[in-house]
Amino acid sequence: KNLSKFQKILLMTDGSVTTLLEIYTGNPVKIKTLHQKIIPATHEIANKLEIDVGDEVNERIVLLLDSNENPLIHARSYTPIQRTSEGFREDLLRADVPIGKILKKHRIEFRRELNDIWEEESDEEMKKIFGDERLLVRNYNIIHRNKILITIWEKFPKSSFV
Amino acid sequence: KNLSKFQKILLMTDGSVTTLLEIYTGNPVKIKTLHQKIIPATHEIANKLEIDVGDEVNERIVLLLDSNENPLIHARSYTPIQRTSEGFREDLLRADVPIGKILKKHRIEFRRELNDIWEEESDEEMKKIFGDERLLVRNYNIIHRNKILITIWEKFPKSSFV
C-alpha cells in the first residue's frame, strides 16, 4: 500500500500505540475521554466479544492528543465487565489513562490479535475531530486467558504521520 | 537522546521487532542461527532468570537479516527449558523462526518487560558481524505466568536505521 512507514507501524504493531506516538511526537501523549459508559451488550457487540446479549460492557471513546492538544488517534473500545479484575476495572472506568498503561500497571499478560485494517470516509462525528479526511482504521483484540478482554478500533487521518 | 525515531521505536517497543524490521525494509526478515544449545545455567544466567544454577537453559544467538542477507539485529536469548511447553520448545529448538512468531503461533499470552537500554563498543565477535561500530543494546524479558520465559539482548549499530 501507499502508506508511510510510521502509518504502517501504527496499523501493524502488536505493541503499545501510546509508546509509538510518544516517540513520534517527542512528548507525552494526553488522553481525552469523549465517552465512557457501562452498557448492556447489543447483539453486535455480544457477537464480537463472544458474550451474551445484555451482559455489561464498558464502552469507551478517547482521543490520544499531542502535547498541543491536537488529536492524533481516535480509539473506541469495548470491555466485558465480567472479564475484568477489580483493580483493572477501576482504572479503566476512571479513564484518561491509555489502555496499554493500564495493562502494564496490572502486569496483565495478553496477546494482541489484529483483526482487520481498512480505509473509510469520515462520518459527521469524525469530521468534527479530524476535519473531512479519509481515515485509516484498524480493529484488534486484547486476548487474556483465551478470551477477548478488549476489542479496539483505532482511527487516524490518512494525511497524518506522512 | 540523539537517536532516530526508528531507533527509538526499536529500543522502546513492547511489540514485535520482526514486524518493525519488515515494515522498515519492506520485505520479510530472514533469520540466521549462529548458535543454539541447551546448557546448564551458570550462576549469572540462573540469577537473571530466577532459576537454579545447573537448570537447563536454551541459549540461542541469531541474526535478523534483510532480504539481501545484510545483518540488521543481533539477538541473544536464554530460555529456561522447565518453563516451556512441548510445542513451544520444539519450535524454539528448531530455530530459524523469530521468537515473536513462535509466541504468536502458540497463542502465548505474555508481557514484555524492558530492563535496560545502553550503548557499547563492539567486541571482536560483533566486529565480524557489523564491522567496528558503536552498538545500541537493550535487554528485555518475556514474562509468562509471572515468570521469565525468555530474556533477550538485542544489538544493532548506532549507524543503522538513521
**pLDDT digits 0-9 by tens, A48-76:** 999 999 999 999 999 999 999 999 999 99
Biggest distance spanned by C-alpha atoms of chain A: 43
Residue B95: pLDDT above 80? Answer: no
CB contact under 8 A, A112 and B143: no
The closest alpha carbon to B57, from B74, B76, B75, B72, belongs to B76
Q: Which of A6, A12, A110 sits opposite B109 (nearest CB)?
A: A110
- Who has greater pLDDT, A133 or B96? A133
pLDDT tens-place string over residues A80-122: 999 999 999 999 888 788 898 899 999 999 999 999 999 999 9
CB contact under 8 A, A143 and B6: no
Residue B43: pLDDT above 80? Answer: yes
A126 phi-psi bin (left φ>0, alpha ψ -120 to 50, beta other): alpha
CB contact under 8 A, A19 and B5: no
Q: Give contacts of B19 with chain A, Cβ < 8 Å.
A: 12-14
How confident is the model at residue A136, as a pLDDT? 98
pLDDT tens-place string over residues B18-30: 999 999 999 999 9
A4 touches chain B (CB under 8 A): no
Query: Would you say A60 and A76 are in contact if contact means Cβ atoms under 8 Å apart?
Result: yes
pTM of this structure: 0.93
Q: Which of B16, B23, B102 to mutate to test the interface with A (most CBs of A within 10 A)?
A: B23
Residue with cell 566486529: B127
Residue B162: pLDDT above 90? Answer: yes
How confident is the model at residue B97, as a pLDDT? 87
Residue A1: pLDDT above 90? Answer: no
Helix (H) or strand (E) holding A75: strand A71-80
Q: How many CB pairs under 8 A join A and B?
A: 68
Mean pLDDT of chain B: 95
Q: In the beta sheet, which residues pair with residue B73?
A: B64
Residue B152: pLDDT above 90? Answer: yes
Residue A123: pLDDT above 90? Answer: yes
> In whole angstroms, what is the distance from residue B131 CA to residue B74 CA?
13
Q: Which of A1, A7, A19 to mutate to test the interface with B (most CBs of B within 10 A)?
A: A19
Q: Which of B13, B23, B103 sits opposite A8 (nearest CB)?
A: B23
A2 touches chain B (CB under 8 A): no
Query: Would you say A77 and A152 are in contact if contact means Cβ atoms under 8 Å apart?
Result: yes
Query: Would you say B50 and B34 are in contact if contact means Cβ atoms under 8 Å apart?
Result: no
Confidence of residue B80 (pLDDT cuts 50, 70, 90): very high
> In whole angstroms, what is the distance from residue B122 CA to residue B109 CA?
34
> In whole angstroms, what is the distance from residue B127 CA to residue B72 CA?
14
φ, ψ for residue A53, nearest 5 deg: -55, 135
Helix runs in chain B, H state only: 5-12, 17-25, 43-49, 86-94, 99-105, 124-130
- Who has greater pLDDT, B2 or B156? B156
The closest alpha carbon to B75, from B140, B159, B15, B152, belongs to B152
Q: Which of B13, B24, B108, B114 to mutate to test the interface with A (most CBs of A within 10 A)?
A: B13
